[in-house]
Amino acid sequence: MPVVNVQMFEGRSVEEKRKFVADVTRTICDSLGVAPESVRIMITDMPRENVAVGGVLNIDKAGK
C-alpha cells in the first residue's frame, strides 16, 4: 500500500509512463513516508469515446 489506480486518456508513450510512475512514486514516498516497494501504480488508458463530463463524450468536446 498504497495502491494507486490512474485513469488517463490513451496515447501516452511508454517513456511518458516510465517518467510518470517514477515521479509519482517518489512524491508518494516523500509525502506519506512509505517505502518505494510498497507503492503500486496501475494505469488504465481510457479511450476518449469512453469518458464523459457533463453528459458529453470527450471526443465530442472542443478543446481539452
- Catalytic residues, by residue number, are 2
Q: Which residues contact 58 (CB under 8 A, 6 or more apart)?
A: 9, 48, 49, 51, 52
Q: By CB under 8 A, how many residues form the interface with a copy of itself?
A: 52
End-to-end CA distance of the chain: 32
**Closest separation in Å from C-beta 13 to a copy of itself:** 9
Per-residue contact string for residues 5-44; x = within reach of a copy of itself by CB under 8 A = xxxxx--x-x-xxxxxxxxxxxxx-xxx--xxxxxxxxxx
Cα torsion at 14, 17, 22, 27 (round to 10°)? 170
Tell me which residues touch a copy of itself (CB under 8 A). Answer: 1-9, 12, 14, 16-28, 30-32, 35-46, 49-60, 64
